[in-house]
Amino acid sequence: MEVSMLRSLMDKGFYDDHRGSKCPDRLFSSDNRKIKQTIDKAMDHYNRSVTPDEVQALFLSANPTITTAQKTGFDSLFVQLKREAPMGNDIAQEVLSKLFQKVVGEDIANIGFDMVSGTGGTMETLRGLLERYGDDFTPNLNIEWDDITIETLMAKAELEARWSFNIPSVARKVEGVSAGQLIEVGARPNTGKTSFHASLIAGPNGFAHQGAKCVILCNEEPTHRVGARYLTAAAGMSARDVKANLAKAKSLYEPVMNNIKIKEASGRDMNWVESVAKTYRPDILVLDMGDKFKAEGGFARQDEALKACAIHARQIAKAYDCAVFYMSQLSAEAEGRSQLNQSMMEGSRTGKAAEADLMILIGKSPTVEGQEEDSPLRHMNIVKNKLNGWHGMVNCELDYLTARYEG
């Protein structure tokens, strides 16, 4: 880190912004301090940026009596310096501020120790130290402001929906998702959570048809059951019809099959999930169920563990440029209800929800006495939406025989 800072100080603009008390020699270890002092002299004499070769030549000319062993040590430092690329000014300023605060913290600790032990140091000494450094705790910044031209903003807006939803009633309100986003989907058991992502990915005009590489990690149902839903969603055929006409089902399934990878993941943790994302680089990553992946660390409460899982899932989305679908259970409060809200997320009412860019809660109407089967009607509650801000409920239907959502 010190070598990187020395490299940045060779830039005259950065040096002028941080010279003197804002970058004291004592920030550096003994040998690096001597190189820093050479940079100081070069800046004072030449008043321009300098190169590592120039600093080395100036150092050697100013220290003709160093021993062979010392020269070998400094030569090694200069080799590192020449290999080191300058840090961006914003990063260098932050690093310098941290180093500076550490040194001042050591001074404060030393004064405090002297005061406690009775060997010296007073409140006046401490106050004088803080006044002497003053605003130097906070670095001056040279920010490269983000581009907000109309062309850039419109291009970014298009990327917010890189992968379009194929459920018309949903797509009219939220067009789609993109890399770096965490989408939390919640529903009660037997509502159609797995069918939801199967339909979004393998159904007509789904993510896989759009060219997205999709990875599904399932820890609630075995792979063959999840895979069967993907097959029926892609073919638009019931399992019975698939058996009766394998050739037709195969012709409809194969165009998307290569874009879909499914792995049974019971007992796995979020670090393993991250390794999968890093290795296979999916565009769409489905965690079904997200809550059943283990979070790193020990947690006294379930809500803390679930929040940690959601935070890690969001970090994965950002780090590996994928959209992460995090499937969750809803509490019993959501049973048989069409209108749902964030507080119904099982085990974590706020912590987990806080991480989502988009939250979709799927409700269904209660079964009426005498009714032979559940109503296919599903109520999509968009309860959090940082993508375009729309909140509300839209309706669609689940064909449970094909695992397709239609609206």
pLDDT of residue 13: 86
Contact 38, 129 (CB under 8 A): no
Ranked by mean pLDDT, the top range of 24-33, 116-125, 329-338, 391-400 is 391-400
Q: What is the pLDDT of residues 161-208, one digit of tens each?
A: 789 999 999 999 998 999 999 999 999 999 999 999 999 999 999 999
Tallying the residues shown for the chain, one arrives at 407
Tell me the backbone φ, ψ of residue 280, rounded to 5 degrees.
Answer: -105, -10
- Could you tell me if 361 and 187 are in contact, meaning their C-beta atoms sit under 8 angstroms apart? yes
Per-residue confidence (pLDDT) for residue 226, from 0 to 100: 96
pLDDT of 68-88, one tens digit each? 888 898 998 899 888 887 777
Average pLDDT over the chain, rounded to an integer:
88
Higher pLDDT among residues 33 and 207, named by residue? 207
Average pLDDT over every residue of 249-262: 95
Helix/strand/coil for 183: strand
Full-model pTM: 0.65
Q: Report the pLDDT averaged over residues 110-127.
A: 79
Secondary structure (3-state) at 341: coil
Q: What is the pLDDT of residue 210?
A: 96
Per DSSP, the residues of 141-175 read: ----PPP--HHHHHHHHHHTTSEE-S-HHHHTT--
pLDDT (tens digit per residue) in 326-384: 999 999 999 989 999 998 988 766 778 889 999 999 999 877 666 666 789 999 999 99
Q: Specify the pairing of strand 182-187 against strand 358-364.
A: parallel
The amino acid that residue 37 corresponds to is Q
For the ranges 8-12, 243-247, 344-348, the one whose mean pLDDT is highest: 243-247
Contact partners, residue 34, CB within 8 Å, separation at least 6: 59, 63, 74
pLDDT category at 133 given cuts 50, 70, 90 is low
Long-range contacts of the stretch 272-276 (C-beta < 8 A, 24+): 273/217, 273/312, 273/313, 273/316, 274/312, 274/315, 274/316, 274/319, 274/320, 276/215, 276/217
Q: What percent of the chain has pLDDT over 90?
A: 55
